[in-house]
Amino acid sequence: MSWLKVEQKTSSQVMQAEYSIAPSEVMAFCPACKAFQTVWFTNGMLNPTRKFTQNGNHIYHDCGSGEPCSLYISV
């Protein structure tokens, strides 16, 4: 059996992290509608997606919430 450790990060921590050219997998959680989905970052920028957008150092879900998403990475 294997265990997965998950660590919550702020969006600015994810943006500032030193990522390689390869995409990095991050889980985004919307505090308004409770959507929980995998998003990808390359060089600290959100890869294009239909449901999430990046505005500065924050990621927002398209449900209309003004609150930024919480981001989780596996460590």
For residue 60, being part of any structural domain is answered with: no
Mean pLDDT value of segment 61-70: 93
For residue 17, being part of any structural domain is answered with: yes
pLDDT of residue 30: 95
| pLDDT tens column, 27-59 | 999 999 999 999 999 888 899 999 999 998 899
Mean pLDDT of the chain: 80
The domain total for the chain is: 1
Residue 70 has pLDDT above 90, yes or no: yes
For residue 74, being part of any structural domain is answered with: yes
For residue 62, being part of any structural domain is answered with: no
Using the Cα atoms of residue 60, residue 65, residue 66 and residue 68 in order, give the sign of their dihedral: negative
- Do 40 and 47 touch, CB atoms closer than 8 A? yes
- Residue 41 burial by CB count (10 A; 0-12/13-18/19+): exposed, middle or buried? buried
